[in-house]
A and B are shown apart, each in its own frame.
Chain A
Amino acid sequence: MADEQNKVIKDFAAKEYEFGFTTDIEMELAPKGLDESTIKYISEKKEEPAWMYEYRLKAFRHWKTMKMPDWAHLKIPKIDYQDLHYFASPKNMPKYESLDEVDPELLETFDKLGIPLEEQKRLTGVAVDAVFDSVSVKTTFQETLKDLGIIFCSMSEAIKNYPELVKKYLGSVVPHTDNYFAALNAAVFSDGSFCYIPKGVRSPVELSTYFRINTAGTGQFERTLIVGDERSYVSYLEGCTAPMRDENQLHAAVVEIIAHKDAEVKYSTVQNWYPGDKDGKGGIYNFVTKRAICKGDNSKVSWTQMETGSAITWKYPSTILKGDNSVAEFYSVAVTNNHQQADTGTKMIHIGQNTKSTIVSKGISIGQSENIYRGLVKFGKNAHNSRNHSQCDSLLLGDRCGAHTFPYIDVENNTGIVEHEATTSKIADEQLFYLKQRGLNEEEAVSLIVNGYAKEVLKQLPLEFAAEATNLLSISLEGSVG
C-alpha cells in the first residue's frame, strides 16, 4: 500500500502547471539593475508627483542598509537584485477609455486565465483590476462603483487622482522600514490596487484583482491598499498566475488594509504562481508582506488564503487588533508539492480590549516539499479579556515531505485566553480503501479526502472563488493516473 501510494504521489508530482503559457507582446523594460536612477526611471514612467518619488527614494536608501532575513525555515538561493528588470509594461500602452482599445493579445491572456473582463463585468458583478507585469490594465465596473463613492482603481491612478488618501494611508500599516522586502517594494512598486469604501457603504460587488507575471527576468512588486471607512463593508479577492520559466522570478508585494470603526474587510486570495517544475527548477519567489489594522472599535478583518503556487512562499498576513472589540480571522490552506517550500502563517497583535482572533491553518505537504506554519499571537498589556483560538493542522502525503509548526505566544495581560491546537496526520490506508471500494481511484480518493480536510477554510471563500479553489486543489493533486 505504501509503495502504491508513493507511486501515485510521484504521479501527482508530474502534473504540469496549467497557466504556464507566455504572451507575446512587445514590452517596454527598465534596464536591468537597481540604483537611484532605477527609482527615478520608474517614477518618471509613471508620471508620479514629487512626494511619491521622495517616498520611493527614502525607502530605497533604507533598503540598502538592510539584509535579507534568514530566520525562515527556507532554503533561499542567493538573489542577484542587480540582475532584474524592475519595470515592464506592454509597449504603446495608451490610457484606455474602453476595453475595446486594449491589446487583443492581452485580453486573450486574461481569457486563458479564465477572467474575461467583459464577461466578468456584465455577468458576475465582480469588479476586476488586472495587473499584467507592472501595469494595471483595466479596472472594470469603475463607473458603477463610483456612484456609491467607492474608489477601486490601480495604485498609479490613485496616486494621481486621490493623492491625499494615498498619502494618508500608504505605509501606515507596513512602513517602508518594516522589513527587507517591504522596503524593496516601497522603493520600486510598480502598480497594484487601491480600494476606498466610504463611510456607511457596503460594496455590492466583490472587488477582485488578478496579477500576472509575463516578461522574463522581471520582478513584480505590487502595492495594494484597502481602506474601509466607518461602518463600511467590502470583500476583496486576489488571484495570481505566471508563465513557466526555468529561471526564478521574484514577487515582493505589500498589502495594507485599514478597517475603521465598525467596518469589515474580507480579503481572499488564491495564489497560484508558477511553483517550478518537478525537479525544483524555476518558479516564483513569493516574499509578501500583508498586514491589516482593525483601527476602530468593533472593526473586523478576515484573511482567507489558498496557497498552491510559488517555489518559495514567505508570507504572514497579519492583523493588529487596535480597536476595542475588534475581530480578526485567518483561514489558510497551503499546499506544497515537489520541491516547493512554504513558510507561512499569521500574526495576531491584540492591543485593544475584548479583541478576538481566530486562526485556522491547514498545511498539505506532498512530494519532497516543506510546509511550515509560523504564527504569533500577542496580547499587549491593555488587551483585557481578549481571546485567541488557533488550530494548525498538517496533512502529509508520502514519506519524503515535511511539516513544521512554529507557534509563538506572547501574553502580557493575564485576563485573556489563548488556545492552540495542532494535529499532524497522514491519509489512512483504511480511508483510501474505503473510497476505492466505492469505485474511486487513488487520485480521486486522495482528492476527496484532501478537500474534506481543507473544507473548513474553503468554505470561507466567496462562492465563485470557492469553486475555483476546489478545482485548483484537485489540480495541485492531480497526477497522470487514469
Chain B
Amino acid sequence: MKLLEIKDLHVNIEDKEIIKGLNLTIDYGEVHAIMGPNGTGKSTLASALVGKPGYEITKGTVLYKGKDITGMEPEERALEGIFLAFQYPVEIPGVSMINFMKTIIDARRKHKGIDPLSPVDFLKLVKESGKLVGINDKMKGRAVNEGFSGGEKKKNEIFQLAMLKPELAILDELDSGLDIDSLRIVSEAINNLRTTNNSFLIITHYQRMLDYIKPDYVHIMNEGKIVKSGDKSLAIALEEKGYDGVMAKN
C-alpha cells in the first residue's frame, strides 16, 4: 500500500476546472517535488488534498493509506497525518504559540487514543523542535504568526511540522519569502525530519530549494496535469532551459 495515490483527479474552483486529470503516487519515505509555471494548479492541488472549502473534487480518487479521503473533513485529514505548510500562514491574535502548540499536539494524541503530553515532555519537544528550525524563545512567546515577518511565518510552519511529525507533509511554496540563510536552515530541518515512514510533497517555482532538499522525483505540472516526471536532473534541466524548453522536448 502506498502512502498517497491520486488517480484522475479533477478539481473545480467556482465551477472552473483547474486540475484536469492528475495522477500521482507517493510512497513512504519519498520526497516529490512539483514544479511548473504560475497558474497551472500547483497550489490548488495542495488545497484540494487538505480539503480546503471551495475546492471541489469533481472526479477521481485520492487514496491516503489506502483510504479515499475526498469526503473527509479537513481536520480528519489533518489528524490522520496530512500536514500543509501554508504559502500564506494565518495570524491568530492573542493565542500564544505555546497554547496553540499544546492544543494541536494534544488533539492529535487524543485522535490516536493517547493521553495529553505532559508539560515537561511538551516543553522538551518545543525546545528540540525550535532549535531544529531556528525559532528563538522570543518568537515562542508571541501569538501565532502575529507580527511575524514573512520568513518567520514560514519558519513557524516548519516548527509545527517538527512538532507534529506528520506522515505526509505538503510544502506550498515554502521558499517564497525566505532569505537564503533561512532557506538553508529550514531545508536542513526538513532533511533532519525525513524518515522511511514519512513523505514530502514540495511545491515550488524554483529549483534552488531542491539544492538543499534532494527530491526522489520531480514532476512538471502544466494546465492542471503532470506533464513530465523524472528525477532531480529534471529540475536542473528546468533551471537551464526553462519550462518551455523542457516541455517542448516532450
Contacts and interface: CB of A to CB of B under 8 A. Distances in A.
Interface in B114-152: 143-144
Interface string A432-468: 0111111111101000110111111000000000000
B66 interface: no
Contact of A448 (B53, B84, B100): B100
Given A448-B92, A452-B93, A440 B53 contact: no
Interface stretch (B26-34, B103-111, B204-212): B103-111
Contacts of B75: 436-437, 439-442
Contacts of A454: 94
B103 A448 contact: yes
B222 to A, nearest CB: 27
B160 interface: yes
Interface stretch (A150-158, A308-316, A423-431): A423-431
A455 B74 CA distance: 27
Contact of A428 (B73, B90, B99): B90
Contacts of B79: 439
Nearest to B101: A438
Interface in B14-40: none
B90 A438 contact: no
Contacts of B86: 434, 437
A438 B164 contact: yes
Contacts, number: 73
Contact of A439 (B95, B104, B144): B104
B53 A452 contact: no
Given A436-B75, A438-B160, A452 B95 contact: yes
Contact of A434 (B53, B54, B89, B143): B89
Interface in A197-249: none
A428 B145 CA distance: 15
A240 to B, nearest CB: 26
Contact of B93 (A434, A442, A453): A453
Contacts of B103: 440, 444, 448
A4 interface: yes
A433 B53 contact: yes
Contact of B94 (A436, A438, A444, A452): A452
Given A437-B74, A439-B79, A441-B75, A449 B95 contact: yes
Nearest to A455: B94
Given A4-B53, A428-B90, A452-B95, A436 B100 contact: no
Nearest to B145: A434
Contact of B74 (A431, A433, A453): A433
- B interface: dominant SS: mixed
A1 interface: yes
Interface residues of A, number: 25
A439 B92 contact: no
B74 to A, nearest CB: 4
A14 B93 CA distance: 27
B143 A452 contact: yes
A454 B92 CA distance: 12
Given A428-B90, A431-B92, A451-B95, A438 B78 contact: yes
Which of B84, B94, B143 counts the most A-chain CB atoms under 10 A from its CB? Answer: B94
Given A448-B103, A452-B143, A434 B92 contact: yes
Contact of A431 (B53, B54, B90, B160): B90
A143 to B, nearest CB: 37
B89 A440 contact: no
A431 B93 CA distance: 10
Contacts of A440: 75, 103-104, 107
A429 to B, nearest CB: 7
B241 interface: no
Interface string A290-302: 0000000000000
Contacts of B92: 431, 434-435, 448-449, 452
B153 to A, nearest CB: 11
A431 B75 CA distance: 13
A454 B79 CA distance: 27
B76 to A, nearest CB: 9
A390 to B, nearest CB: 19
A434 B90 contact: yes
B228 interface: no
Given A437-B50, A438-B160, A439-B107, A430 B90 contact: yes
Interface in B168-210: none
B67 interface: no
B59 interface: no
B93 A439 contact: no
Nearest to B109: A439
Contacts of A431: 90-92
B78 A439 contact: yes
A4 B54 CA distance: 12
Interface string A1-41: 10010000000000000000000000000000000000000
Nearest to B104: A438
Nearest to A362: B94
A437 B93 CA distance: 18
B2 interface: no
A1 B56 CA distance: 13
A96 B78 CA distance: 58
Question: Which of B50, B75, B93 has the most chain A CB atoms inside 10 A of its CB?
Answer: B75
A453 B104 CA distance: 18
B79 to A, nearest CB: 5
6 contacts: A433-B52, A434-B92, A437-B78, A437-B86, A438-B107, A440-B104
Top 3 A-B pairs, shortest CB-CB distance: A452-B94, A452-B95, A434-B90
Interface of A: 1, 4, 428-431, 433-442, 444, 448-449, 451-456
Given A428-B90, A438-B78, A444-B107, 9 more contacts: A1-B53, A433-B52, A433-B53, A437-B83, A438-B104, A439-B75, A439-B79, A440-B103, A440-B104
